[in-house]
Chains A and B, each alone.
Chain A
Amino acid sequence: MATLRVRVVNSEELVFEGEASSVVAPGCDGMVGILPSHAPMITLLGMGKLSVDRASGGAEEYDVVGGVLKVDKNQVTILTEEYSGIDLAPVGNPLV
């Protein structure tokens, strides 16, 4: 079965990189589910939970606030400003 190559990055580091069977991301106008062979797409992200179902089993979950998601040839790149564990209130995220 085809898998997705997923990278989650924020401005300071590479948060996650690996193979996944599916990705569910909070798009700017609703949740976006991505399976292998998805059409090429670039979309803005809103606020919510990003979950990456690993190909090897198990899932990663991140809280994201804004950012952008790009799918191209089973390569999913998620640029996000913040992820779980960071208090967003004082930052005033420009992407929101």
Chain B
Amino acid sequence: MAGARDVKRRIKSVENTRQITRTMELVATSKLKRATDRVSSARPYAEALADTVKSLYAPELAERYPLLRQPERSRRAAVLLLTANRGLAGGFNTNLIKEARRVLQELRSQGIETELHVVGRKGIAFFRFRREPMETMRTDVGDNPTPEDAESIVSPLRRKFEEGGLDAVYLISSQFRSAMSAPPGSRRILPVPVPEQTTPADGFILSPSGPVILERLLAPFVRNQVFTALVENMAAEQGARRTAMKNATDNAGDILEILTRSYNRARQGQITQEIAEIVGGAAALE
């Protein structure tokens, strides 16, 4: 009897776990839906802004505007890592942290001083555990990142870059391609990368003037990259959590099946034994 009762208890516990993972999966699915909507509704602005910057960019402006300054030698670079505040999302946070460490390693091997800025509890916990100093730590970005969040994250870096305290800023976040594919990636947000191809705004009326418009658009352009990254990261996190929780739910189902089988076997064994005892007892009386 003891065997069957133990199995019964394990079945109960696995059922409870499955209930929890299934709920988390459902929650992640609904959050993912909202997050992907935000990703796609943020796209037109990003595209139009990039387009305008592209048409106004001219190489000779690089010397005039601090945000376009391309330092000959990098001495100090900032790495901005975006992670989640919560775990249970499969390899989501680990992959981002791994990417951040790779970038840090690479910069250091080139003799560049680095400083680390981390958004999200999970990244902070990791680097705190490793005793790596972090310049800034932020945990206040919620499920719905706003452009103001992005601005408050990036503006100190932008200011430091303008003043010459930094020569480059790298952003590490998940690139949201679909709910199933959101690989971690890194890109340089400062200095503003030179557009691969410029489409000069020939024949355009520019008011007040090309360079002035460009100058006004650079800060929003940098901020928008961080904003887009925050929004995509959130979608990627929900996608990763949904996948992880779906796998957990499926695994719980598999375990339940095995446990149910061994429970039935134990029960059957017990019944067989009882019958054998009764038959044996009856036989002894004859």
Chain A contacts to B: CB under 8 angstroms: 7, 9-14, 27-29, 39-44, 66, 68, 70, 72, 77, 79, 81, 91, 94-95
* B44 A43 Cβ-Cβ under 8 A: no
- Considering the complex, which residues of chain B in the window 18-77 have a beta carbon less than 8 Å from any beta carbon of chain A? 38, 41-42, 44-46, 48-49, 52, 55-56
Across the interface, B207 reaches (CB within 8 A) one of A10, A12, A43, A95, namely A43
Across the interface, B45 reaches (CB within 8 A) one of A10, A41, A44, namely A10
Q: Closest Cβ of chain B: how far from A22's Cβ, in Å?
A: 17
Across the interface, B213 reaches (CB within 8 A) one of A29, A42, A77, namely A42
With both beta carbons as reference points, the residue of chain A lying nearest to B147 in the complex is identified as: A11
> Which residues of chain A have C-beta atoms less than 8 A from B196's C-beta?
none
Q: Closest Cβ of chain A: how far from B242's Cβ, in Å?
A: 23
Q: 1/0 per residue B85-126: CB within 8 Å of A? A: 000000000000000000000000000000000000000000
> Which residues of chain A have C-beta atoms less than 8 A from B205's C-beta?
39-43
* B208 A40 Cβ-Cβ under 8 A: no
> Which residues of chain B have C-beta atoms less than 8 A from A94's C-beta?
151, 219-220, 223
Across the interface, A95 reaches (CB within 8 A) one of B45, B48, B216, namely B216
For the complex, give the distance between the alpha carbons of A44 and B205 in Å: 11
- Considering the complex, which residues of chain B in the window 139-187 have a beta carbon less than 8 Å from any beta carbon of chain A? 146-148, 151
23 contacts between A and B (CB under 8 A): A9-B45, A11-B42, A11-B227, A12-B146, A13-B42, A14-B44, A14-B45, A27-B207, A29-B207, A40-B201, A42-B52, A42-B55, A42-B205, A43-B205, A43-B207, A44-B207, A44-B208, A44-B216, A68-B52, A79-B45, A79-B49, A79-B52, A91-B148
* A12 B41 Cβ-Cβ under 8 A: yes
- CB of B276 within 8 A of chain A? no
- Considering the complex, which residues of chain B in the window 192-226 have a beta carbon less than 8 Å from any beta carbon of chain A? 201, 203-208, 210, 212-213, 216-217, 219-220, 223-224
> Which residues of chain A have C-beta atoms less than 8 A from B42's C-beta?
11-13
Across the interface, A28 reaches (CB within 8 A) one of B146, B151, B207, B223, namely B207
With both beta carbons as reference points, the residue of chain A lying nearest to B231 in the complex is identified as: A12
* B213 A68 Cβ-Cβ under 8 A: yes
> Which residues of chain A have C-beta atoms less than 8 A from B206's C-beta?
41-43
